[in-house]
Amino acid sequence: VARPTDAREAGGSHYWWTVGSQRNARLGHHRGHSDAVTELNSGVDKQPALPASLAEYADRLLLSTGLQVEEAMLIACGQLEPPPELEGLSRALRTGWSAADSA
Amino acid sequence: MSVAFFDLGQRLRAAAESRPVSRSSFAPVLPPVNPVAVMITGSGDSTLLQAADDVRQVVASGPDALSKLSELGVTLGSDWRTLVVAERGTLAHLLELACASDPQSENASAAAVVGWWAQRADHPGTGAVLDVTAACSARWVLGDEPSSEREVAEWRRWLGVSDPGPRGLLELATAVSAVATLPGLHALAEEDRIAWDGFVARVSDPTSPWDWRRRDNRREAALGLASRCDATELFESLRLGDPLIATRESFSGTVVCYIVTSLPSHSVVEITLDQLNCRLRVQTDVEGFAGHPRDVAPALAATPLVRGRVAATRVTPQEQLVVTIGDAILRSVPIRQRITLRPRSIDPRQQRSGRQELHRRYAARRAWLSGGAAPTPRRRDVRSMWSSPRLSNDSPFRANRRANTPRRIRASCTAPLGAAASSCSDIGSATRN
């Protein structure tokens, strides 16, 4: 897997992306946006920030799905309903998200 | 891929809540035994060793750094202790120091303990060495990219440990082992005990020519390899008994959740999987428990509902994966019962008796591993996988193939598939000829 394209310091997780903000310079930004997602709750602005390194990692992982990291986060926490073709992805994200509750 | 999305879901949750989230329900390490934490920086004369236990902290530099370990009570005369290190490289560095020390010096005892730690560190789940970074990664997920979990500084930051020295490592070790220990892991503590007693007896025996610094002989190497492989298999098996790990592995296909759809006979059960990813291949020994992966029982803790072997797999026109379990032992399994299937649990007692049998065989005079001459390589013919029965004998393609096929392969027709490994040299040499 390629290294992140940003030049942040090692361990310097103080660079944070705010979910919902425009991130034009990020990897994979120009791929098609998934229009089929259904937003259940417009809580985008209330979402917490993500470390830049995690956002980069998630972007690479989601490259083939057409989703952006903000959407993945909303799907994971159940605020966004994905299109049927991404059902397997949403199940994995949601199970991972809720696994902390069963620990 | 879906297991990566499962992990991503966990990472996003951890980032959202700014705290590590659990990767496992149980502690993946044994509780440290009278732990001693060690950090090493530099090399040669500039080596700086910092070590601490619950009471004292010492700092030393140069080739005599090991003497400080003796001061902390790391000797063969005391009982075995857990070494706590930030990552595996520290132990390698410590082993270099130990091997370079004078066997007649007062540090010899501490050096031997380091040698024992290095041996046990190859056994996953051991209580002798606690690699803090690996242990924390097995216990939690961070809200950051995966590579950050290889940095002990990241774990300190996320877990709120401020001490950057060996005391901080002890705090991390305490945190990672704070919850209930993974059921079954105490079998590895027993192995540690046996290994320690055997090691001390060998090192302390003045009549024994054995030196822990020397390379293993063939027999020791073979038994050591078996021991390491057993520990790895056992640890992986025990981990699947952790509900969170089982849930995660259900996305990789190692653990599968299914519905019983048919019971053709007393010893055969057909099951239909929820999803298509399944890593349980034909001939894999499996066991199944009622419910979802999060309900899976700890390894060897409960009698499974189903125990058997994967006999066949097929995909239906409705794109469902159907697995047939043969040689099955069923315990009141009704149709439509939801069951979670996993590879059969490893029994540490069987492993131990297997190693004793290996020990006995290698000790026999006829075993070449115990000192006899190495066996002479034998050439055997193998069945050529390239020949096509549809070609007639007078086909020009067949004639051309005969001309280009090595002689030994052409003559082959009877050896079983298991001979493939030994036949590799045949193919190479025949081609060269």
pLDDT of residue B285: 94
**Which helix (H) or strand (E) element contains residue B359?**
helix B348-363
Does the pLDDT of residue A41 top 60, yes or no? no
Query: Hey, which of A6-20, A31-45, B22-36, B254-268 has the most confident mean pLDDT?
Result: B22-36
* Selected residues 42-81 of chain A with any CB under 8 Å from a CB in chain B: 47-48, 50-51, 53-54, 56-58, 61, 72-73, 76-77
Task: Place B170 in a pLDDT band, splitting at 50, 70 and 90.
Answer: very high
| Chain B neighbors of A54, CB-CB under 8 A | 11-12, 15, 143-145
Task: Determine the Cα–Cα distance for residues B27 and B179; give it in Å rounded to an integer.
Answer: 6
Task: Place B424 in a pLDDT band, splitting at 50, 70 and 90.
Answer: very low
Q: Tens of pLDDT along B368-380?
A: 666 667 778 888 8
pLDDT of residue B50: 93
Task: Determine the Cα–Cα distance for residues A50 and B302; give it in Å rounded to an integer.
Answer: 42
A16 contact B CB<8A: no
Q: Interhelix angle for B2-17 vs A52-61, to 10°? A: 160
Task: Determine the Cα–Cα distance for residues B152 and B91; give it in Å rounded to an integer.
Answer: 15
Q: Tens of pLDDT along B208-244?
A: 888 898 888 888 888 999 999 999 999 999 999 999 9
Task: Determine the Cα–Cα distance for residues B43 and B92; give it in Å rounded to an integer.
Answer: 12
pLDDT of residue B298: 77
Q: Decide if A99 and B21 are in contact by the 8 Å CB cutoff.
A: yes
Q: Decide if A93 and B9 are in contact by the 8 Å CB cutoff.
A: yes
3-state secondary structure B372-388: CCCCCCCCCCCCCCCCC
Does the pLDDT of residue A71 top 60, yes or no? yes
pLDDT of residue B385: 53
Nearest chain A Cα distance for residue B431, angstroms: 39
pLDDT of residue B386: 54
Q: Decide if B9 and A57 are in contact by the 8 Å CB cutoff.
A: no
pLDDT of residue B21: 95
pLDDT of residue B102: 86
Provide mean pLDDT across the span B149-162.
94
Q: Tens of pLDDT along B5-25?
A: 999 999 999 999 999 999 999
Question: For chain B, what is the mean pLDDT?
Answer: 84
Q: Which residue has the tokens 């599968």?
A: B256
Eight-state DSSP code of residue B296: P
| Chain A neighbors of B18, CB-CB under 8 A | 48
Task: Determine the Cα–Cα distance for residues A5 and A81; give it in Å rounded to an integer.
Answer: 30
Choice between A13 and B118, residue whose per-residue pLDDT is larger: B118
Closest residue on chain A to B248 (Cα): A96
pLDDT of residue B407: 44
Other beta carbons less than 10 A from residue B426's beta carbon? 21
Radius of gyration for chain A, computed over Cα atoms and rounded to the nearest angstrom: 14
Task: Place B284 in a pLDDT band, splitting at 50, 70 and 90.
Answer: very high
Q: Tens of pLDDT along A46-62?
A: 556 788 999 999 999 99
Task: Determine the Cα–Cα distance for residues B152 and B254; give it in Å rounded to an integer.
Answer: 30
Give me the percent of chain A exceeding a pLDDT of 70. Answer: 51
pLDDT of residue B429: 38
Task: Determine the Cα–Cα distance for residues B96 and B115; give it in Å rounded to an integer.
Answer: 10
Question: For chain A, what is the mean pLDDT?
Answer: 67
Nearest chain A Cα distance for residue B13, angstroms: 5
Q: Tens of pLDDT along B301-358?
A: 778 888 999 999 988 888 888 999 998 888 777 788 888 899 999 999 999 999 999 8
- Cβ neighbours for B377, distance < 8 A, ≥ 6 positions apart: B422, B425
Task: Place B418 in a pLDDT band, splitting at 50, 70 and 90.
Answer: very low
Does the pLDDT of residue B98 top 80, yes or no? yes
pTM (global) more than 0.80: no
Give me the percent of chain B exceeding a pLDDT of 70. Answer: 85
Task: Determine the Cα–Cα distance for residues B77 and B204; give it in Å rounded to an integer.
Answer: 10
pLDDT of residue B243: 92
Pick from B5, B143, B157: which is nearest to A92 by CB?
B5
**Which helix (H) or strand (E) element contains residue B340?**
strand B338-343
pLDDT of residue B384: 58
pLDDT of residue B215: 85
Report H helices in B27-103: 66-71, 88-100
pLDDT of residue B383: 67
pLDDT of residue A94: 94
Q: Quick check: B30 and B44 in contact, CB under 8 A?
A: no
